[in-house]
Amino acid sequence: MTESAALPSRFSFSQSSLQSFLSCAYQFRLRYLDRLVWPAQLTRDQATFERDRQAGIRLHHLIHQYILGIDLSELVLSAKNDPDSRVWPWFEQFLAFPAKELEGRLFPEYSLTAVLNGWQLSARFDLIQVTPQALVIYDWKSSHRPPARAWLGDRVQTSLFPLVVSLSGSQVSGQAIPLPVRMSYWEASAPSQTIDFFFGEAEISAAGQWISGLIKTIAGLRPDQFLKTTDLARCRYCPYRTLCERDVASGNYQEEEPQHLLYDVDWVPAA
């Protein structure tokens, strides 16, 4: 393992950190290496974004409680009385979703770490389902509009989660991981079916090579080599745009809904 002057040897790579690097290497440096909290708003309509984010968090919490076996009538009452009127319809749609009746061993809101070529990977899963025949990763979403399958396929999360499970999932399964691993996205805005990706040996190997290559690139950079993106459209939803002195107006989340803001849920670093 080669350690750069910039990257700590114990750095743990997540979907958000790797996606951040792909979006803008300089953003990665400011956020994950310098750990800089910058006060600029993510969007022009920050209140709308925050309202949607919090509603999505509460939906996740309701689903988590449901899987844990909390009394359904209490959860329904909570959803119906949520301050955001969308939460009950979302939860109602989930209750009509066939996959809610899941067999096997269930691991909701579960975190795993794995090691790839000496570097640590980390992932937090909405739900892992394990049966003797299959391992399924479920991810719950609540976007205004469902994303395209091709867009999801390009996201780090879609490759990283099955890779982490394949490397360390025996911790939860107690057995060799049954392949293919299924990565299954459920969208509250399109609840009738999931968007599924299947990872057999070839796909797991390809994911490992891609992510290993990303990490090798990051680890080989000096601090001054984390360059700003040349795609100014990416700056529209970056809080560091004022720090970078980019003459770019903040985006209108309500009109455009940039998917990365909802799919990378830990996008905003903690102070």
Please list the residues that pair with 199 across neighbouring strands: 181
Among candidates 208, 250, 218, 207, which has minimal Cα distance to 232? Answer: 250
Judge whether residue 127 has pLDDT over 50. yes
Mean pLDDT across the stretch 236-262? 68
pLDDT of residue 246: 78
pLDDT of residue 4: 46
Residues 6+ apart with CB under 8 A from 21: 27, 28, 214, 218
Q: Which of the pair, 250 or 235, is modelled with greater confidence?
A: 235
Judge whether residue 122 has pLDDT over 90. yes
Mean pLDDT across the stretch 248-256? 63
Q: What is the mean pLDDT of the chain?
A: 85
Judge whether residue 165 has pLDDT over 80. yes
pLDDT tens for residues 169-221? Answer: 777 777 778 889 999 999 888 888 899 999 999 999 999 999 999 999 999 99
**Helix, strand, coil % over all residues of the chain, rounded to 5:** 45, 20, 35
pTM for this predicted structure? 0.88
pLDDT of residue 74: 97
pLDDT of residue 254: 57
Q: Which tokens hold the place of 31?
A: 């956020």
Could you tell me how many residues make up the chain? 271
pLDDT of residue 264: 46
CA distance linking residue 87 with residue 89, whole number of Å: 6
Residue 99 banded pLDDT, cuts 50, 70, 90: low
64-68, 97-101, 177-181, 248-252: range with highest mean pLDDT: 64-68
Is residue 19 within 8 Å of residue 264, measured between CB atoms? yes
